Amino acid sequence: MAKNLVIVESPAKAKTIEKFLGKDYQVMSSFGHIRDLEKNKLGVDLEHGYKPNYVIPPDKKKVVSQLKKAAASADKVLLASDEDREGEAISWHLAEALNLDMSKTERIVFHEITQGAINRAIKNPRTINYNLVYAQQARRVLDRLVGYELSPLLWKKVKPSLSAGRVQSVAVRLIVEREEDVKKFTPAAHFKVTADFDANGKVLSTELSRRLKESKESRQFLEHCSGASFEVSQVEKKPGKKSPAAPFTTSTLQQEASRKLGFSVSKTMMVAQKLYESGQITYMRTDSVTLSKSAREMAREEILKEFGEKYHKSRTYATKSKGAQEAHEAIRPTYINKRDASGDRDMKRLYELIRKRTIASQMSDAQLEKTNVHVDISGHQEQFIGRGEVIVFDGFLKVYMESRDEDEPGENQQGLLPPIKKGEKLNAKEIHAIERFSKHPPRYTEAALVKKMEELGIGRPSTYAPTISTIQKREYVVKEDRDGIKQKYLHLALKDNKIREKEKHEKTGYEKNKLFPTDIGILVNKFLMSYFENIVDYNFTAQVESRIDKIAAGQEEWNKMIHDFYGAFHATIQKTEETTERFRGERLLGKDPGTGKNVYAKVGRYGPMIQMGDTESEEKPRFAGLRKGQSLQEITLEEALESFRFPKELGEYEDKIMVSAIGRFGPYVRHDSKFFSIPKDEDPLEITKERAIELIEEKRKRDREKTINIFTGEGEQKEIKVLKGRYGPYIVYEKKNYRIPKEQDPQALSYEDCLKIVETSGKTTRKTPKKKTGSSRAKSTSRKKKKTTGKSTTSGKKS
């Protein structure tokens, strides 16, 4: 039996660490958190210092039991969860739940999983850092209070099943406000004038020093150029340089992996976690740009071996991000001399990105020579300017060049200009004046949203990816591509002293992987801005993060921060619940010409919809869903009336009528009292009879492949289905699903066998959930709370 028990939070991490430790060590995994706040209750004692009530979830009881047993027989327990607030909290929860004797329990930390790092950690153990535990606890309790009280209010006032969170609501606001900026934006036209000159048989490409405002001015300018002479008035040469970017933090890795590899933020973190847990990179949740002395030395050796002394420049970087927390190292390879990662393709690609960025950060500047050539136009005050840039010494560019977002000003890198001297006369080959339009502020990509959140101090490295995933899962935001629009523009060209004017067309405004707010997201944001402005206030959210940082540093009591927030928040919840009407975001679109009834765009119980007729009128209103691409903000009366053409008859199939319609779950085809979903990217008005038959047969085929057996039942017997599921075969009986034990063959089950499984099984794979009302959930928090002190409280005592 091993003398020492090491507990980590993931099996992959356990497997890697086990390779470095001898037979005296047993390494086990907690599989993440083993305790959390109660699921169906508030889980926070409002009357006793906001003490959290932690419970062990049912799916973790077996793990806890195994860990307890192993800990009881070990001479020493080493808690080796990650070196951040979340990791520290996991260690504390393990100590509490396993009832560990702290005199033989040690906390060990490392930011890379290597032999050396593990040995150093074991030689230098410490105790649990309660300040980090309190910081994590403060975030968890605060987020529970906000979600538990605000979500039921949204169910009541806006729409059932909605949720609100402290950081996610601010992220949604950023996206909604950017969309509003885009909608309000009016593009301004201007003319960009370029000229190509003959310079001793080579082409000198230039641009006019200012943009012209309209076509008349552009034509007049070209007419002037038709008879003008051109002379080089100045040739400017000056040295320039580019410096490498700092090594990766969590946010810069997410941004660059999005730009260069096309990874989503959550995918980047998933792949990085695999690399970390397999010992190939340092810890991936960090806001530090620091490299250790040994890492800088490893990088130096690689640079000298690969490129030579002149390419090396040792650099240290300072962390600039707002509210940077624990002093971790930047994300880098554990062994920089290892060129390729082991693992799947995504791991290899992300590792290569991290390695190149790390090496480049310790390399020399790139040396440039920038040249500007100024060309005078006789009789005119403007000039044509040719810009060139030549890389004299490539430096770090030999390895890596950082990408840019579309909202960042780029450098128009042009190559070498032809040899040219001041006073030289030039002949114009062609001069073009092309109409261009100013662009609206760019919508956020996931990477750009992370960057903005970091700039504002909203969230921390551990929260960026979960926040962005959550707002998409809850359908407040969608990430998608959208087609551009066809736009006409004027092109004037001067060649051989003749001016040609032509109207041309181009497609512009194409959006790829951008974040768009949904109607529900816009409405929830409007509600929160109206009644809970501080919850979605950027500065307030950043201040909360800053106070959590102070708790982590031991400069503030965690429950005092909660108390300062909760009083005013709870009062606002009560006031809003009592004094406000239902918040529908209703728009009156006009009247139906046929009936004279009002037509509204609004959010109903099941989402955005069109309503014809007033709710108060004697005649029941008619309702219709929105089609793909339609939104409450932009739908017109004519488009809304189109929706009332449903249900639309498509013809007969198997002697039964087929119709297309839009229901609460989206568009569908109905045939023989059965429903067949229409894909989201297809317009139900455009569905043909042939396409409807395809959808019916595709669904039937899927059902056949899913079905193992169906017992129709006789007399009083009820139907039983044996089906294939995502997690294995299961039984459906009276609308409940029952797992089939692994030792039983689903193909061989009889009706009686199925009934026996139903009767003996207490576990179901899926049940139809009962919907809770907002009022019942909020009752526990509506009582008047007692005044609390700033004294620190956790659900267990310090050991």
Active site residues: 283
Evaluate whether 36 touches 134 at the Cβ level (below 8 Å).
no
Contact 106, 76 (CB under 8 A): yes
Q: How far apart are the first and last CA of the chain?
A: 27
Q: Is residue 204 a contact partner of residue 196, using CB atoms and an 8 Å limit? A: yes
The separation between CA 112 and the C-alpha centre of its own chain, rounded to angstroms, equals 26
Per-position DSSP letters for 412-473, written without gaps between them: ----PPPP--TT-EEEEEEEEEEEEE--PPPPPPHHHHHHHHHHHT-S-TTTHHHHHHHHHH
What is residue 709's DSSP assignment?
Answer: E
- Give, for 115, the enclosing helix (H) or strand (E): helix 115-123
Contact 366, 317 (CB under 8 A): no
Q: What is the largest CA-CA distance in the chain?
A: 106
Q: Which two tokens stand for residue 533?
A: 């402005």
Separation of alpha carbons 429 and 195, rounded Å: 8
User: Beta-carbon neighbour count of residue 295 at 10 Å?
Assistant: 23
* Residue 335 DSSP class: S
Helix, strand, or coil here: 71? helix
Instruction: Give which of 351, 353, 339, 366 is closest to 244, Cα–Cα.
Output: 366
Q: Is 35 exposed, middle or buried (0-12, 13-18, 19+ CB in 10 A)?
A: buried
d(CA 403, CA 384): 29
Residue 205: both structure tokens together: 């490409």
Contact 197, 427 (CB under 8 A): yes
Per the document, the length of the chain is 799
**492 close to 134: Cβ distance less than 8 angstroms:** no
Which residues neighbour 75 within 8 Å (Cβ) at sequence distance 6 or greater? 3, 4, 104
* DSSP class per residue in 763-775: -BS--PPPPPPHH
Handedness of CA 603, 605, 607, 612 (dihedral sign): negative
**What is the helix (H) or strand (E) element at residue 346, kind and residue range?**
helix 345-360
- DSSP assignment string, 200-260: TTEEEEEEESS-B-SHHHHHHHHHHHHT--EEEEEEEEEEEEE-PPPPB-HHHHHHHHHHH
Residue 104's φ and ψ, nearest 5 degrees, are -125, 30
Decide if 28 contacts 6 (C-beta within 8 A): yes
Structure tokens given for 154? 């949204």
The percent helix, strand, coil of the chain (3-state, each to 5) is 35, 25, 40
**Signed CA dihedral, 477, 483, 485, 491: sign only:** positive
Instruction: Report phi then psi at 718, rounded to 5.
Output: -100, 155
Measured CA to CA, the distance from residue 430 to residue 433 in angstroms comes to 10
